[in-house]
Amino acid sequence: MEAATVVSFTMAVLSGFCYGAVGYRDRINLDRSSGSLELMNLDLTDSGQYTVTILTPEAVSVEENTKLEVYEPISGAIITTSPNPPIIEGNSVNLTCDASGSIITREWMKDGQLLSAGGNLTISEDKRVLSINPVKRTDSGEYLCRVSNLVSTADAKDILLVKSEDSLSPVLPARALTGIVIGVLLVVGGAVSVAVFFIRKNGTNAEPMHQGGSQQLVYENTSPVYENTSPVYENTSPVYENTRQNQSPRP
């Protein structure tokens, strides 16, 4: 875990020995002439109080203390919004700022301006949560949370868009209405085309139909029946009746 590259502080060293130096092997440099101690490859566990004891020529023991703070660089700063969008005017919203590392300070900004508690704004004691209640349309904008410590700084941004309840009504745009009208016209046109096709088909071809419960297909003869319109002539020739009487033969 990276903290800082090198930290140097000065302390008197007795006989070139630093108490508790087992965990610092290959990580410290001692300057016996000045009593300077250099500690490398810092870890968060290196934070704490360091003590040095000095023995004077008069055999008087003098003890001095110093404190070391190791900070982890900040990373992964992010703002989360609750509830999830859309944010409705008149309701409340919480913006939460989180990050990894040793966080010392947080500050909130809106559109580049530093924010402070007051009005409809509430900021938690650790400045992690910014609450807006009730939220207004004018609260829309870019929010920034700046997280920092003595060795690093990180920013997180979030765009807040506050909408009125009326804006959520399902109003179709003009393009959508145009598309619906065109779609209806296409459907009607298609239906008319199909109807014309079937009319033409029924007028020229035979259509199969079922007869009774039988599955056998019976085709109706749709061929036109032509009536014989030729004139019928009556025979007006006279019929001659044989009026000659039968006579007996002569003897």
pLDDT band for 212, please (50, 70, 90 cuts): very low
Query: Among residues of the chain, what percentage have pLDDT more than 70?
Result: 56
Instruction: Find all residues with CB under 8 Å of 154, minimum gap 6, and list them.
Output: 74, 75, 76, 77, 99, 101, 146, 147, 148
pLDDT band for 232, please (50, 70, 90 cuts): low
Phi, psi at 188, each rounded to 5°: -65, -45
Its pTM stands at 0.56
Q: 19-75, pLDDT tens digit by residue? A: 455 677 788 887 766 667 788 888 888 888 887 777 777 888 878 888 989 999 999
- Per-residue pLDDT for 237 more than 60? no
pLDDT band for 157, please (50, 70, 90 cuts): very high
The mean predicted confidence, pLDDT, of the chain is 74
Burial level of 37, CB count in 10 A (0-12/13-18/19+)?
buried
Residue 40 · residue 6 · CB < 8 Å: yes
pLDDT band for 106, please (50, 70, 90 cuts): very high
- CATH no. for 75-168: 2.60.40.10
Q: What is the pLDDT of residue 97?
A: 98
CA distance 150 to 160: 30
